[in-house]
Amino acid sequence: MPKPIAQDAQGQVQAWIILQRDLEKAPNTVAAYARGITDFTSFCRERGIDPLDVSKSTIAAYLGDLRARPPGGGREGRADDESSPSTSPSNASLRHRLTIVRLFYDHLVEEGLRTTNPVPRGRRGVARHRGERGLVPVHRPLPWIPSEAQWRAVLDAARTDPVRNRLMLALAYDCALRREELCALEASDIDPAHRLVTIRAETTKTKVGRVVPYSAVTGDLLAAYLRERRALGRARGRLFLSTSPRNRGRPIGKWTWSKVVRALGHRADAPRLGTHTMRHLCLTDLARVGWDIHEIAQFAGHRSVQSTLLYIHLSARDLSAKFAATAAELHKARLAVIAGVAR
């Protein structure tokens, strides 16, 4: 029978969760931290381990327990059948769970209840050669970028959408907006006279504000939407308002926009379309037309060009055309001998 969690450990868990709330973390973040650390302490209780006195081996065992579960599965949903590796959760999910545990033990170290953190941090550069690696490797798959035909299908499917949704799609692409940035736009952030959008620092992931332009097409959609918006409410506030009978005139949330994009992708036969696709496509298009990487980083609101490089995904056709125009003859000359071609 599982041993109860020591009272001291349970108190520290509750204190840490309260601390996250008092630090004004987003409610969803606090809830995720609470679920994650509660799951870990349940794992410890099943094995009779005091959560205040775990070792790296306990963390490794917990990681194995997580891998044995189906995606999204709780402790009651573990999959013990090793013949079904395809049901394992993603590396991103595993890293998220371990990050929660690591933050909890950072707190314990700061409080003087432990001297070390049992969850190893992944390090870059020289430190990685010293064996200082994270328990779960980072996988960075290429972002999905729609082809010209796929993007045209998305636009064709959007033609019948309300003008608000079409404007949001256009702004998301024109300005490379994150979902949160788009939904947080206020009417006062728009400068129609100069076709500029101000993305306020407090609405961004990196807390870096920026001002970016939008196209004439988007300007026409904006003018049409503002006429509709005046019927929903005269207050400046949020730009995008709900038209549903239940929430009429209230700002729409990021999940509403996610549902709109998901439905649009379904109608366009582009199931991989997401709210971030327009941002990826915009930054890639800027690279296609010759923008400097630093200019693209500033446009995107990235602190580092390394982040920008992860977003830019030139298609095989783009790279093939550039290769043919700039490097094909050089490569041919260097490899001529092994092909039996006389130099």
Q: What is the pLDDT of residues 296-340, one digit of tens each?
A: 999 999 888 877 877 776 655 665 666 677 777 777 676 766 766
In this prediction, residues 109-116 reach a mean pLDDT of 92
Angle between helices 7-22 and 91-110 (to 10 degrees): 100
Quick one: 293 and 152 in the same domain?
A: yes
Domain that holds residue 331: 313-343
Quick one: 168 and 292 in the same domain?
A: yes
Please identify which of the residues 47, 56, 205, 262 carries the catalytic annotation: 205
Q: Which residues contact 45 (CB under 8 A, 6 or more apart)?
A: 2, 3, 4, 5
Please identify which of the residues 97, 178, 179, 229 carries the catalytic annotation: 178
302 is catalytic: yes
Average pLDDT score over the chain:
83
Alpha carbon 207 to chain centroid, angstroms: 15
- Note the pLDDT of residue 3: 46
Residue 135 lies in a domain: no
Quick one: 304 and 181 in the same domain?
A: yes
Would you say residue 121 has pLDDT above 90?
no
- In one-letter notation, the amino acid at residue 138 is V
Quick one: 187 and 294 in the same domain?
A: yes
276 is catalytic: yes
Distances (CA, A) of 19 to 9, 101, 103: 15, 15, 12
CB 215 within 8 A of CB 195: yes
Residue 143 lies in a domain: no
178 is catalytic: yes
Question: Nearest CA to 267 among 140, 169, 123, 192?
Answer: 169
Quick one: 244 and 299 in the same domain?
A: yes
Task: Render pLDDT for 260-276 as a digit per residue (tens, 0 to 9).
Answer: 999 999 999 999 999 99
Q: What is the CATH number of the domain that holds 23?
A: 1.10.150.130
Quick one: 199 and 55 in the same domain?
A: no
- pTM for the whole thing? 0.66
Quick one: 304 and 317 in the same domain?
A: no
- The proportion of the chain whose per-residue pLDDT surpasses 90, expressed as a percent, equals 50
Number of domains in the chain: 3
- Note the pLDDT of residue 34: 94
